[in-house]
Structure 1
Amino acid sequence: MELDLKDIPRVKTITKEDFIKNYFKPQKPVVIEHFIEDWPAYEKWSLDYIKTIAGDKIVPLYDDRPVHHEDGFNEPHAKMKMADYIDLLKREPTKFRIFLWNALKEIPQLQKDYSYPDFGLKLMKGLPMLFFGGQDSHTFMHYDIDLANIFHFHFSGKKLCILFDQNQNKYLYKIPHSLITREDIDFSNPDFEKWPALKHAKGYKTELNHGEVLYMPEGYWHYMKYLTPGFSMSLRAIARHPKNLGKAIYNIVVMRHFDTLMRKLKGQKWIEWKNEQAFKNTQKTLGQ
């Protein structure tokens, strides 16, 4: 048995009007296959190129170890020179990933390689983020704290993307006071005996190739698995739906600080309680 996942619709290219009407307004994902061929990045951006221009930069690395109460918010698990990290990616599979790496700040010359596309949404120009991963490395299923509209541009190799909208929360073993699901679920090959509610979840999937753009609507859950070593860049636009904007403000102003406080007060017991609640809350939706 597999997850109930539809293929994300694909278009060769798209006008601003069609994007707003067919994907943004109904909040549906789409892959745009040919949209950035005029960017210098389309031809230039490869692992070797990044190694050439950013090899001496020390980069923060993350793996798939479970969250621990002593971990700070987005605190890296290791650090390495970018040149050494790219050598590692090309040499062997590794769990180490880079995420939320601010390209503007770290390597200003990269700005010359792309432009801000006009999708009809105001993109946040200070926040182009780069993400890197080794073969078979993956992110936990999560959604972004600000519930932004995300445009995910993939470079080099292939990447599996699985998405769910917020209406599927009750089936996903969502961790309370958090933005992730249970970390011990493998969404690329889930154990339905252990996680039976996942049988009822309805989502989307696609494999991204070099130069393709994935639009993820506001607050969509996303799981990313690198099928080959590669990297991506995300551009984002603020949540426009009032409910999502409200959730985003709550997450940033209240939820994040509450969770940090409870980790300090209760330690690992807080993490364990949240994991138990995720299971109990989800099983309740099945009447179990």
Structure 2
Amino acid sequence: MQVAERQRLLSPAEAVPRIWRPSANEFLENFYAPSRPVVIEGAMEGWPALARWTPDYLARTVGAAPVTFQGDRDGDGDFELYKDNHARTLPFDQFIARIAGHRGNDAYLTAYNSAANREALRPLENDLGYLDDFLTRQHGMIWIGPAGTFTPLHFDLTNNLLAQVVGRKVITLLPPSETPRLANTRHVFSDVHDVGDVERLKLYPDARFAARVEVTLSPGELLYIPVGWWHQVRSLDFSVMLTYTNFHWANDAYVDFPAA
């Protein structure tokens, strides 16, 4: 198959459709069960966070409670693989002051830090709604960072539902069938890191031919990423996002996946 033909197979409208508030059965039958990505619009309507969560509001609401984040990432090409080496702590209001109005990838509060930050960030839960058609009543794992944060190419061992609250993110998706092209030598990570990096692709030429699609996720939109789908994520703005894995249906591919 020619490269152009492969790319057309993942045109945005076909590969990642946008739909308005599907029912639980529609989502299960058309997307969850067949492992098909989808952007869901309208399901977050009425969430106070969509209007309230400016950097100033976040800093006032959480205050000086200490939080753990991923810091000093710029000097490590494998910062995602070695996340424990990048754990840093600051009062939350100081963390917001550090990232608001700035751009870069050096400081990012991520889902990996969720357990450590649960109590500190609990005051923000009052501004969130629930997605009862798809999920149990458990709030998601939060990501807070400046424009320019980047999560390298990887896949997850759960089905994920991303809920964009503040700012925009660009998510590049590649189906599991592209794994042989993506230098998957270490657990769920790709040595390619970034399929948009021309210089990096010179080291991994097979990745140039991998079919992919980009989705821009805006506030109030959800993106369903099925288990095993490769993705990388870049923030266009100061961004707050939640990742949910607590679906009503089985979501435990990690149980029998080989250890890292």
1:175-234, Cα deviation, whole Å (9 max, x unpaired) = 23x22111x633333444332111332233211111111111123222110111111011
1:67-126, Cα deviation, whole Å (9 max, x unpaired) = 38x95x644343322222222222321212111143643322323222331334x5472x
Partner of 1:227: 236
Determine which structure has more spread, i.e. the larger CA radius of gyration.
Answer: 1
Within the alignment, does 1:179 sit opposite 2:193 as a pair? Answer: no
Q: 1:188 aligns with which of 191, 196, 205?
A: 196
Q: 1:111 aligns with which of 121, 125, 128?
A: 125
Q: How does 1:103-252 map to 2 (within 5 A)?
A: 104-120=118-134, 122-123=135-136, 125=138, 128-144=140-156, 147-176=157-186, 178-182=187-191, 185-191=193-199, 192-237=201-246, 245=252, 247-251=253-257
Which amino acid in 1 is paired with 2:164?
H
- Residue 42 to residue 108, structure 1, CA distance change in 2 (3 Å): same
> C-alpha distance in 1, partners of 2:30/2:181?
27
- Residue 81 to residue 213, structure 1, CA distance change in 2 (3 Å): same
Partner of 2:11: 6
Q: How does 1:236-275 map to 2 (within 5 A)?
A: 236-237=245-246, 245=252, 247-251=253-257, 255-256=259-260
Which amino acid in 1 is paired with 2:177?
N
In the alignment, structure 2 segments of 5+ residues that lack a partner are none
- 2:171–2:233 contact (8 Å) kept in structure 1: yes
Which amino acid in 1 is paired with 2:86?
P
CA RMSD between the two structures: 2.9
> C-alpha distance in 1, partners of 2:84/2:37?
26
SS at match of 1:141: strand
Aligned length in residues: 243
Structure 1 residue 143 displacement after superposition: 2.1
> C-alpha distance in 1, partners of 2:108/2:161?
19
> C-alpha distance in 1, partners of 2:256/2:34?
24
- Residue 188 to residue 89, structure 1, CA distance change in 2 (3 Å): farther
- 1:148–1:237 contact (8 Å) kept in structure 2: no
- 1:11–1:31 contact (8 Å) kept in structure 2: yes
TM-score (norm 2): 0.80
In the alignment, structure 1 segments of 5+ residues that lack a partner are 257-288
Identity %: 21
Structure 1 residue 238 displacement after superposition: 6.1
> C-alpha distance in 2, partners of 1:202/1:99?
27
- 1:161–1:225 contact (8 Å) kept in structure 2: yes
> C-alpha distance in 2, partners of 1:75/1:54?
25
Structure 1 residue 11 displacement after superposition: 1.7
Which amino acid in 2 is paired with 1:97?
Y
SS at match of 1:193: helix
Partner of 1:42: 50
Which has the larger displacement, 6-15 or 218-227?
A: 6-15
Which has the larger displacement, 133-142 or 110-119?
A: 110-119
Which has the larger displacement, 31-40 or 84-93?
A: 84-93
Partner of 2:110: 99
- Residue 136 to residue 248, structure 1, CA distance change in 2 (3 Å): same
- 2:136–2:248 contact (8 Å) kept in structure 1: no
SS at match of 1:87: helix
- 1:29–1:217 contact (8 Å) kept in structure 2: yes
TM-score (norm 1): 0.73
